[in-house]
Chains A and B, each alone.
Chain A
């Protein structure tokens, strides 16, 4: 099964894979900051013109969602699985 071997290939080289991914992310942010490449004329608000705005938005948004959701869940919303059983 070729697909399995393909996945295993990256898992075996996890450190390198993660490194390449992070480099690509950095490249993405840099490219976004070059006005000639990414035309921000159509952006609707001022903050969207800041470099890496959406990267920060994604990163912090995700962290906030995880932390607040879990806090909400552990405040009594998450309960044992047989809660509704007789």
Chain B
């Protein structure tokens, strides 16, 4: 253990706690310095095990630094700089505090070497990130935040139950190592469910579009980065090679695409699209080969960049116009051309166009699928790629910046390019998307296993360009069918949203009615009976008890009065009488025995 080891999360968490004490004129400097310090700490951290702490009988490991953890730590700390820059002009300290604690907790979870530390940071993530939803302060925000917490608490309880069960089996400990995926136990299933909830894997996914579409314009950048990618990391660490994850991941990739086609709110569309993208990573974890795990990490890395960029683009539109629905937007290229261009780079990048991050990252997963001879999975993931370009590369930019202008006059009046800090953050993200795509060693050297994959072959280029460009042809042919509709889509949050209401209805109607009936019955039968019996008891007390007591007292009084004349004060008479009585009593007693 190194004496000078400082956890990168400590910079963010300490920085967050000190933020209210920083004078206003230094605030912006502090806001940039803290995440930069976290990134620097992350970069200089040597591999190995650091920060072990003995707590009761357990050894908590705060810094297990290996290649798998480092690649996630690198991108997570890097994006914290960009995301903070994006919201630099937000005056409210509490928003930055929540975001930094959330980011710090994610780094804490990634570097955790044991399950207890992992769980600690896992919960910290849920409790800090919910504020990024609440701070939007719409009338829908509190309920959305509580639903988000509810799901994450349920997932957290599953995880904790699994951890405790796992550690209590002989030969196991709290150390966070790979589970034996060929022999899944109840404990490992519970831990897996805990991870799948955070990874938004169906059927545990509905919290994601619900919360991320509802987050603040800058909070959603943090949201889309940390929770799902931490889950992907945890899956890579714990469940690489679990076959079930392949069909689950592929189904997830297509599920997200279908809902994204239906969605009218741009940020909810992007949120559904996270589900689709995490699906690739989950499938890769299921494949479990070195190439697939590399692909999962590379895709998580790249996804944080371009998904962040897309959320920034749509967040900029929301921040400047107050609208995020396609049916309230359109034609904005005239007012926000640079935002359009940067969002488009994000869209092309996520669709895996050559020279972008997606091309060098996502394709690794599909290639791993083909190499593992999982052909159906690979072809379905290619279909999901078609869907990705369809809605993120085409639908989002087209219906916000082109298409029919649905903007109301006040929306159009407000629309303009966002402030410099938001533009700079988007430009940095766009640059990184292109940089990762053009200079592959930057990403490939960070990956956990050696990379033997070359994305820039003539065949891969031709395949990708044909598929994506003909998707575009199809998009424009079916443009009429894709016209946005002012609807929401029912999803698996229905059971707990409507179910909760049904519970309320049950409480308000049948249970309340039964309670009223019982009250009425009690009032009529119960109270009257009670009053009757009380009256009877009163009468009994007054007449019988009091009668006996009073009668006895009266009798004693009367006897005393009678006896009084007998007593004349002559002592010898009294003594004689007493002795006579005593003698008589003795004789009687003697005769009896």
Contact = CB atoms under 8 A, between A and B. Distances in A.
B339 to A, nearest CB: 10
Contact of A70 (B262, B340, B371): B262
B467 A54 contact: yes
Contact of A57 (B259, B338, B386, B473): B386
A62 B488 contact: no
Contacts of B386: 57-58, 61-62, 65
Contacts of B259: 69
Contacts of B261: 65-66, 69-70, 73
A16 B488 CA distance: 38
B471 A58 contact: yes
Nearest to A25: B469
Given A4-B333, A40-B459, A44-B370, A80 B470 contact: no
Interface residues of B, number: 48
Nearest to B497: A84
Nearest to A6: B337
Contacts of B478: 62-63, 66-67
Interface string B99-133: 00000000000000000000000000000000000
A4 B337 CA distance: 6
Interface stretch (B479-487, B511-519, B561-569): B479-487
A12 interface: no
Interface string A34-54: 000111111111001000101
A59 B474 contact: yes
A58 B466 contact: yes
B481 A79 contact: no
Contacts of B470: 25, 54-59, 62
Contacts of A59: 470-471, 473-474
Interface of B: 257-259, 261-262, 333-334, 337-338, 340-341, 370-371, 375, 378, 382-383, 386-387, 390, 457-459, 462-471, 473-475, 477-478, 481-482, 485-490, 497-498
Given A69-B257, A78-B487, A80-B488, 11 more contacts: A25-B469, A29-B466, A54-B463, A55-B470, A57-B382, A66-B474, A69-B262, A77-B489, A79-B488, A79-B490, A81-B487
